[in-house]
Structure 1
């Protein structure tokens, strides 16, 4: 029995030909990938409101001089559910630690800490997630919808949002505009 070739802890980069509204020019951090499917958070599609506005809406006290970071559209699945991607300086009630000092947390305790400015600026909230059923992501990769590269925390936390797609592609060492949309299978 061979080991499943998981892409967990990889960035999933949309090919220029992918025109889906939710994934056009997207970069998705894959938080889970196994025989049953995949789950990730889109890290470069900001919504029209800030973290402080979201916390205020949720009636979570917020230091107003902070938390102006945008909230992201993490994907089209369960858009009423929030995820916090952050440096793994501390683990919270519902944290999953990924590689390269990155964690994802779904519990409210981190939201209160963000509101109190107790979490570094290397954290952001995403609403919803991207999900794939068993074999679906692998098929989409074979159809040339996606490229993958191991996660780079600098892209996740330090790169300007509108540059994350280009910087992710640069990690591959190719000019994405020169890539063909046709897949080749020798």
Structure 2
């Protein structure tokens, strides 16, 4: 039996021809991965017309500073109305933050949204995501076995970069792969 290897804190990079349009050219940060589940946040897909200010206004919360104009990302197809703040671990809520990987955390509370707009007391880097990507027991491992995803080390620069259109090709380049050289056909040797 193969020993379980957690991918928590790693990045999934979709292969061409993934077969699911929701994940075409996806770059997903795995926030939690155990033998019976996996949960990640897609890093490359802005929500059309939604900014941090839009969300804060809806919650009747003041939007301070320039941070309010930042885009909100679609974190995945599960629970699309649920928000997650992905941030550096220099700001934490002891009751609500989930630290993972190297220097990262995820928080789903209103105070994390407010902290995002505070350049002094808030996290150094942060992004708001709506929804998440989830896998049931063995599902992610099966997809990895079918060569649906490549895995990479998390890169804070890539995670919080605003150039969403280039994240997929940059993630591949970080692995030494040229996106133009990849085939949409999967195979087994």
Instruction: Give the TM-score taking structure 1 as reference length.
Output: 0.91
What's the offset of the Cα at 1:158? Answer: 3.2
Distance in 1, matches of 2:127 and 2:98, equals 15
Q: Which of 161, 171, 186 is the aligned partner of 1:182?
A: 186
Counterparts of residues 119-158 of structure 1 (less than 5 Å)? 119-120=122-123, 122-158=125-161
RMSD: 1.8
For each residue in 1:129-167, what CA deviation from the matched residue of structure 2 results, as whole angstroms up to 9, or x when unmatched?
000011111111222211111111111013622111111
CA distance in 2, matches of 1:46, 1:158: 12
**Structure 1, unaligned runs of 5 or more:** none
- Aligned pairs for 1:26-175 (under 5 A) are 26-48=26-48, 49-63=50-64, 65-92=66-93, 93-117=95-119, 118-120=121-123, 122-158=125-161, 160-175=163-178
3-state SS, counterpart of residue 22 of structure 2: coil
CA distance change for structure 1 residues 73 and 24 in 2, over 3 Å: closer, same or farther?
same
Length-normalised TM-score, structure 2: 0.89
Task: Give the superposition deviation at 1:64.
Answer: 5.3
Deviations 1:20-76 (CA, angstroms, capped at 9, x unpaired)? 232111100001111102100001110021111111111111125432111111001
Note the C-alpha offset of 1:100.
2.2
Distance in 2 between residues matched to 1:113 and 1:70, nearest whole Å: 16
Q: Structure 2 unaligned runs (5+)?
A: none
Aligned residues: 185
Moved over 3 A (4+): 115-118
Secondary structure (helix, strand or coil) at the match of 1:4 reads: coil
